Copies of this chain bind each other. A is one copy, B any other.
Amino acid sequence: MKSKRIGKMTVKLENKPTIISTGSVVGPKEGEGPLNQYFDLVLTDDLYGQKTWELAESKMVETAMKKAVNKAGKKLTDVNYLFAGDLINQLFPASFAARELEIPFFGIYGACSTMSEGISLASMIVDGGFADLALAGTSSHYCTAERQFRFPLELGNQKPMTAQWTVTGAGSVLIASEGNGPKVKYITTGKVIDKGIDDGNNMGAAMAPAAIDTIYSYFEDTKDDPNSFDLIATGDLGVVGKKITEDLLKERGIDISNVYVDCGIEMFDLEKQDVHCGGSGCGCSATVFAGYIYDKLVKNEFKKVMLVSTGALLSPTSTLQKQTIPCIAHAVVIVNN
């Protein structure tokens, strides 16, 4: 079969895998942010009726997946594959959601890059003719992530201003071989990049080089024009990482400043909501994409969008072993024609 590769790191999808619907669930704090109207469900209680935060996060994933399927008028049994993962050890939320959904399941892990990793794999699987319908999605929860990666919430630790706030949210996309909706057209899959940052409270600076490498590779591979995009959205670089990304890409001859946003900055009102550099977590780019960006694509207010979810592949164990932070970013380009 003829290769669909363009340049070193990019593939072009010829069979128009289509995002026919999305699902999004966010926590109370996210619901108080500027994107409130775009989410399917805003929880009033971040335990979501469960006994633990991990089980709540799992139920959020399950709900986001079911919403996408229901909104498309499909049934869970119509879906051929489920791609999901999250930040929590052994993908507790995704695995337990997959148990309830009963769809053949590929667990994936890209830290906060998981949303675009899932869209990439689901789109290729649909484009290649292996599935008619594939779900992809991810989640994060402030309370599960904080206690696993940092400190017990009860300690009330303060954070430096470079830190970010893990989004409580789950987002999903349903990708189909046929149907109306925005199409996934290009996929640029990132390499692991580590420039030596070891400060877990400055993830934006750690992840920016990975975002830069992936975005630069896309433009090098395709010779596309940044200004042909309505939006280029990184996942959760926050204020510090966004500025690094924009500046260093400009130095390398790629000026994305006219169209560039970061989902972590869009999610919250940074001044009023006390989230320091912005939102983070797998659920950040997942819900901003499944909610806000997808809505604008469907209304044709956006015609061409790049989502670049960004992930920091550290673990508490690697940090204790004094390792630096390996990072990754995956880009998907979604168009309306």
A66 to chain B, nearest CB (A): 15
Known: A107-B117, A117-B107, A128-B128. A96 touches B15 (CB 8 A): no
Closest 8 CB pairs of A and B: A128-B128, A90-B315, A95-B313, A104-B189, A1-B129, A107-B109, A99-B192, A98-B192
Additional A-B contact list (19), CB under 8 Å, known A54-B317, A98-B192, A106-B108: A1-B128, A3-B131, A5-B131, A51-B321, A81-B189, A89-B316, A90-B313, A90-B317, A96-B313, A98-B326, A102-B192, A105-B189, A107-B110, A107-B313, A108-B109, A121-B121, A124-B124, A124-B130, A127-B130
- CB-contacts of A306-331 with B (<8 A): 313-318, 321, 323, 326, 328
A177 at the interface (CB under 8 A from B): yes
B residues within 8 A CB of A110?
A: 106-107
Separation of A192 and B4 alpha carbons in the complex (Å): 32
Contact of A128 among B106, B130, B189, B313 (CB under 8 A): B130
Chain B, Cβ-Cβ closest to A51 = B321
Q: Which of A189-223 contact B (CB under 8 A)?
A: 189-194
| Interface: A88 (CB within 8 A) | yes
Q: Which of B1, B117, B191, B321 touches A98 (beta carbons < 8 Å)? A: B191
The answer to whether A257 has its CB under 8 Å from any CB of chain B is: no
Determine the chain B residues whose CB is within 8 A of the CB of A15 once the complex forms.
1
Question: CB-CB < 8 A to A314: which residues of B?
Answer: 90
**Complex Cα distance A190/B95, Å?**
12
Q: Does A244 contact B (CB under 8 A)?
A: no
Those of A88-138 within 8 Å (CB) of chain B: 88-92, 95-96, 98-99, 102-111, 117, 120-121, 124-125, 127-132
Known contacts A89-B316, A99-B326, A110-B106; A55 and B129 CB within 8 A of each other: no
Interface set, chain A 55-76, CB cutoff 8 A to B: 55
- A171 shortest CB reach to chain B, Å: 18
Flag if B54 contacts A104 (CB, 8 Å).
no
Is the CB–CB distance between B54 and A129 below 8 Å? no
Q: Does A175 contact B (CB under 8 A)?
A: no
Q: If the complex has contacts A130-B4, A323-B96, are A90 and B189 also in contact, measured as CB distance less than 8 A?
A: no
